[in-house]
Amino acid sequence: MQIATTGLVLRQVKVGEADRILTILTPDLGVITASAKGSLRLKNKLFSATGVFCYSEFTLSSGRSHYFVDSAQVKKVFHGISGSVEGMALATYLGEIALTLAPAPPEADAQLRLLLNSLYMIGEKRLPLRQIKVIYELRTMSKAGYQPDLLSCSSCGKYEGGEFYLDPVEGNLLCAECADKARHIPNLDPGALYALRYICLAEDQKVFSFTLSPTSLKNLSRVSEQYLLAHLEHGLKSLDFLKTVLE
């Protein structure tokens, strides 16, 4: 039986002389693995549509443990990503997050759209790379069911004013005074707090539409990374490399 779907190639592994095993994020099947026979040959009909970060239309056959790619047609290639080491490093990091979360339908559809939009932003250089990183980290965790409690200070109910502390493990906010009582150092300035709420709560089409000062972005980047790692419960190899190239 053949299955038609769209998907973003997140990983490829060479097998033999010219075959590849692909890991693909699809909206209706979730994350799948598929064999693409002969796809490493330049003249093969699968070559251009099965590279990493190719968004393609696939016709698949189902096997016992994975799929086989019968045909593939490119829908979008994010050429701009490979224009810089930093951009490619960030794209690889976002892809590893998606692989780790391995969203299943129907969540996979929203996660795929978020990743496609993020890759577009990287390739078109629409925003600072660190801002794209922050948006993806917080938004993807929220979509995966790990949205922090952003309403107010979990202790006294204060909504805004001054610095706040986001607990990366518990996912709750404390105002500066309550954080001090709990022996925590505030990690969000007012700008970072506003951006945190905006990223997690804005409509999908507006999530990239905000500006942030370099100081607030640096603060939020530190917090979002800690929050993501706390809930994934393990490190990411791509993050280690990204930190060496991203200013």
Q: What is the pLDDT of residues 41-57, one digit of tens each?
A: 999 999 999 999 999 99
Look up the CATH number of the domain holding residue 13. 2.40.50.140
CA 141 to chain centroid, in Å, comes to 9
Say if residue 71 is in the same domain as residue 118.
no
Say if residue 49 is in the same domain as residue 100.
no
Angle between helices 190-201 and 214-232 (to 10 degrees): 50
The contacts of residue 197 (CB under 8 Å, 6+ apart) are 150
Say if residue 86 is in the same domain as residue 66.
no
Q: What is the pLDDT of residue 1?
A: 81
Total residue length of the chain: 247
Q: What is the pLDDT of residues 186-209, one digit of tens each?
A: 999 999 999 999 999 999 999 999
**Whole-angstrom distance, CA of residue 26 vs CA of residue 67:** 13
Distances (CA, A) of 22 to 35, 92, 118, 122: 6, 15, 21, 23
Q: Cα-atom radius of gyration of the chain, to the nearest Å?
A: 20
Q: Quote the domain boundaries for residue 179.
A: 80-245
Domain end position, chosen among 42, 77, 112:
77
Say if residue 104 is in the same domain as residue 68.
no
Q: What is the pLDDT of residues 105-128, one digit of tens each?
A: 999 999 999 999 999 999 999 899
